[in-house]
Amino acid sequence: MSKKSFRVVVLPGDGIGPEVVAEAVKVLKALFEESPDVELKLETRLFGGCAIDETGEALPASTLQACKEADAILMGSIGGPKWGVNSKVRPEPGLLALRKALGVFANIRPTKFGSDSLVVNSPLKESITRGVDIFVVRELIGGIYFGERKEQDVAPQENVAWDTMIYSVEEVQRITRVAAQIALASDPPLPIHSVDKANVLASSRLWRKVVTETLESEYPQIKLDHQLVDSAAMLLVSSPRKLNGVVLTENLFGDILSDEASVIPGSLGLLPSASLAGAPSLPSSHSFKPTSGLYEPIHGSAPDIAGKGIANPIGTILSAALLLRYSLGLEKHAQLIESAVRKALDSKNAGGWELRTADLGGNIGTKEIGDRIVEILKTLL
């Protein structure tokens, strides 16, 4: 049998990005170094603030080209005070441009973690966090992040700034179908909780109507309810099990709610994400259709802890698992990573310490977590 070869572009980025990506790369290398049938070709490129420093642009043309040609992209995080909100050239628009250029409209952020040993690490009570299992499905290349905007100090109204939130029927239909595919991967199908602000926003009224029509006509077997985003934010930390299933929402609301949801397992550093240009092929489907994808932890560049070697690499390592699942069709390998992460979290190191980084109240460094996951992974191969 000939060896399958995949090209993965790696974008470490800024702040803690390179630190957490190094651990995910270590895990991927360990997984495939002796594989007789899979070869991963990893190619690191400049992206974000570091790219601005070198080239004057956050997303250099050569990086974009490499990303377009890759089977998948693994990213860390970009941004930081050096290229803050008043800078002329900033990293964040580069990330928006990359997502748009790749057409990755579906951002999947699973919040279930699988390791019960983490329950005590959440700032929320155990009675609240136990049994929570939510997939956030966030529309990623529309809405207010991409609508027309005007900055202050631009004529004719120099004391006014604005952003616009626009959604089309087609944009809402396609993200609803992705949410439905995720829901249908479970038996019985997961319910979908669509989150909007339809009591105020016209774009949310379109959202609610299209989600309802699409699910009723194409996926009548899926249970649907609608939540307003303000009360959904409250439910997420007061009774999150009520949102078990798929939380389907637009770009800005999904960005905010997914960071909030990370409090349930205990830290922003834990959660992975997959950004896809179509509905994912799921483990249960017989024919795998590769979907191009960008994989990144949900957190940012964490300038407050960058360079200290204490960032939690688990969100990035789990993003690498999603990359194997959704873009390369390597479900078994994805599960091996997830299982090694769970086992690492359930274990202690030689000094008797639980494997927890500072964000989870521990004293274990980024590299030690990565090393332990690799060690466990090797016993599972």
Ligand X SMILES: NC(=O)C1=CN([C@@H]2O[C@H](COP(=O)(O)OP(=O)(O)OC[C@H]3O[C@@H](n4cnc5c(N)ncnc54)[C@H](O)[C@@H]3O)[C@@H](O)[C@H]2O)C=CC1
Ligand Y SMILES: CC(C)CC(=O)C(=O)O
Q: Is 112 a catalytic residue?
A: no
Binding to ligand Y, residues 236-255 (CB under 6 A): 255
Q: Which is nearer to ligand Y, 146 or 167 (CB)?
A: 146
92 interacts with ligand Y by CB under 6 A: yes
Nearest partner of 270 among 104, 137, 110, 108, judged by Cα:
110
Range 287-316, binding ligand Y (CB under 6 A): 298
To ligand X, the closest distance from the beta carbon of 90 in angstroms equals 8
Tokens representing 310?
A: 């204490």
Q: Among the options 71, 197, 219, 295, which is catalytic? A: 197
Give the tokens for residue 245. Answer: 């299933």
Distance (Å, whole) CA 331 – CA 11: 23
Q: Which of 29, 53, 230, 308 is catalytic?
A: 230
**Residue 64 one-letter amino acid:** L
Q: Which of 340, 336, 341 minimizes the C-alpha distance to 324? A: 336
Q: Does residue 14 have an active-site annotation?
A: no
Query: Does 255 sit near Mg ion (CB under 5 A)?
Result: yes
Phi, psi of 165 (to 5 degrees): -105, 110
Contact stretch for Mg ion (CB under 5 A) within 132-140, 208-216, 253-261, 371-379: 253-261
Secondary structure of residue 213 in the 3-state scheme: helix
Quick check: is 304 catalytic? no
Task: Select the binding partner of residue 71 from ligand X, Mg ion, ligand Y, none (C-beta < 5 to 8 A, by kind).
Answer: none
Instruction: From residue 318, give the alpha-carbon distance in Å to each of 35, 95, 295, 348.
Output: 20, 20, 9, 20
Torsion over CA of 117, 118, 122 and 125, rounded to 10 degrees? -30
> Binding to ligand X by residue 95, rule CB under 6 A?
yes
| Nearest in space to 122 (alpha carbons), one of 264, 243, 244, 262 | 264
- Tell me if residue 259 is catalytic: yes
What's the min distance (Å) between Cβ of 49 and ligand Y? 12
Give the up-direction half-sphere exposure of residue 136: CA atoms within 13 A in the CB hemisphere: 31
Per-residue contact flags (x/-) with ligand X for residues 247 to 276, judged by CB under 6 A: ---------------------xx-------
Give residue 358's identity as a one-letter amino acid code.
A
The answer to whether residues 226 and 191 touch, using CB atoms and an 8 Å cutoff, is: no
Contacted entry of ligand X, Mg ion, ligand Y, none for residue 305, CB cut-off 5 to 8 Å set by kind? ligand X
Q: How many residues bind ligand Y (CB under 6 A)?
A: 5
Can you give the binding site for ligand Y, defined by CB under 6 A?
92, 95-96, 255, 298
Active site residues: 145, 197, 230, 255, 259
Can you give the binding site for ligand X, defined by CB under 6 A?
16, 20, 77-80, 92, 95, 268-269, 296, 299-305, 311-312, 315, 357, 359
